[in-house]
């Protein structure tokens, strides 16, 4: 089962296509149409909504925004037997007929003002617990009243009823199977949003909207990696997975200095020299290099004449790509942050 819903990247700066969604925690920001696996929250596809400039798949340009956003999101999943859950913004008879041709089932809540609905399903008053249904081919339209009337569309369900137990009141209630399944499968996007909010990469005070989007997409990639890790039998919690990932990235940076020429940039220096494993080794002699290198710790000292001390050493740290005296400079360089 897969589901489509809206997500929001919180942003309160000046932006022409900033959206307001009162049901979201941030309320203001960049809106995304998002396709997720219902059970795990794996994010399969996303579309960033930029108003009239939003890019959709060229095959669906003749449809409305709700229909072409759905078809663009699931384009690579057509004809594979998936079942899609949508809310009333996306669900329509037009969309259902298109998906039937693509061998994809759909069910979800439906707005009463959609085109092509039978007049009777709009005007009829259904008592609490009763069901009014219409069938056309695979498409079933259903009206059921709980606290308020609910319209549903499904290409998978009939009018069958199921008993559902309430976790809060510990009571049971009879409701249509399509309603029960909708409640169980519609939360894929909400689950992904909730888990992404626990350990956000984005900064709250970030002023550049494109940096906000980049950091959000980075969070998506990490979340998807965690879901795949769990699917393959991984036992870590999300925070443990993130810490392991960070450690691994630092380790890769430290253990692969061969791609660099010269010492590390200042912004990366502390991370590299204060973490990982460091060992003194003899300076490699070559035609372009001497047998010794300038010790970077000794060169920070000032002599009696006010000039910096220059001391050569036959030893270096290959990970940090700097010359160092074995004692005490090697230890000082790899343990003291303020040099």
Q: Given this model, what pLDDT does residue 287 score?
A: 56
Residue range 4-22, pLDDT digits in tens: 999 998 888 888 898 888 8
CA–chain centroid gap for 120, Å, is 42
189 C-beta neighbours (distance < 10 Å), count: 23
pLDDT for 253 beyond 70: no
Residue range 279-303, pLDDT digits in tens: 899 988 775 567 888 999 998 888 8
Q: Token digits for 283?
A: 């300076």
Contact 220, 196 (CB under 8 A): yes
Percent of the chain with pLDDT over 90: 39
pLDDT for 125 beyond 80: yes
Q: Given this model, what pLDDT does residue 256 score?
A: 53
Q: Nearest to residue 157, comparing CAs of 87, 101, 90, 107? A: 107
Contact 216, 9 (CB under 8 A): yes
Q: Token digits for 323?
A: 């010359």
- Report the DSSP pairing between strands 315-317 and 28-37: unpaired
pLDDT for 307 beyond 70: yes
Residue range 199-215, pLDDT digits in tens: 888 777 778 889 889 99
Q: Given this model, what pLDDT does residue 6 score?
A: 92
Residue range 255-270, pLDDT digits in tens: 555 444 455 455 455 6
Measured distance CA(38)–CA(185) in Å, rounded: 5
Listed by start position, the domains of the chain span 2-228, 274-335
């Amino acid at each position: 089962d897969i589901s489509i819903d809206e997500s929001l990247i919180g942003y309160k700066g000046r932006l022409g296509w900033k959206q307001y969604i009162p049901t979201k925690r941030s309320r203001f920001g960049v809106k995304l149409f998002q396709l997720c696996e219902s059970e795990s929250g794996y994010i399969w596809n996303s579309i960033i909504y930029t108003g009239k400039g939003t890019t959709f798949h060229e095959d669906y340009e003749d449809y409305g925004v709700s229909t072409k956003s759905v078809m663009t999101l699931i384009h690579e999943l057509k004809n594979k037997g998936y079942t899609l859950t949508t809310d009333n913004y996306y669900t329509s008879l037009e969309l259902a007929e298109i998906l039937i041709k693509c061998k994809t089932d759909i069910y979800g809540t439906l707005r009463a003002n959609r085109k092509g609905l039978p007049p009777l399903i709009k005007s009829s008053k259904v008592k609490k617990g009763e069901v009014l249904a219409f069938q056309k081919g695979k498409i079933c339209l259903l009206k059921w009243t709980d606290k308020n009337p609910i319209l549903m569309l499904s290409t998978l369900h009939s009018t069958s009823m199921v008993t559902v137990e309430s976790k809060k009141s510990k009571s049971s209630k009879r409701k249509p199977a399509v309603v029960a399944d909708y409640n169980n499968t519609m939360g894929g996007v909400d689950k992904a949003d909730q888990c992404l909010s626990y350990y956000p990469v984005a900064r709250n005070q970030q002023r550049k909207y494109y940096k906000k989007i980049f950091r959000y997409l980075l969070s998506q990639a990490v979340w998807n990696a965690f879901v795949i890790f769990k699917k393959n039998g991984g036992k870590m919690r999300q925070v443990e997975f993130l810490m392991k990932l960070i450690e691994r990235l630092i380790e890769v940076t430290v253990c692969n200095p061969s791609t660099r020429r010269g010492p590390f940039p200042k912004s990366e220096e502390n991370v590299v020299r204060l973490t990982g494993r460091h060992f003194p080794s003899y300076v490699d002699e070559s035609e372009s290099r001497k047998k010794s290198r300038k010790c970077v710790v000794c060169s920070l000292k000032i002599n009696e004449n006010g000039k910096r001390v220059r001391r050569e050493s036959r030893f270096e740290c290959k990970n940090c790509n700097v010359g160092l005296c074995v004692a005490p400079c090697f230890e000082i360089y790899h343990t003291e942050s303020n040099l």
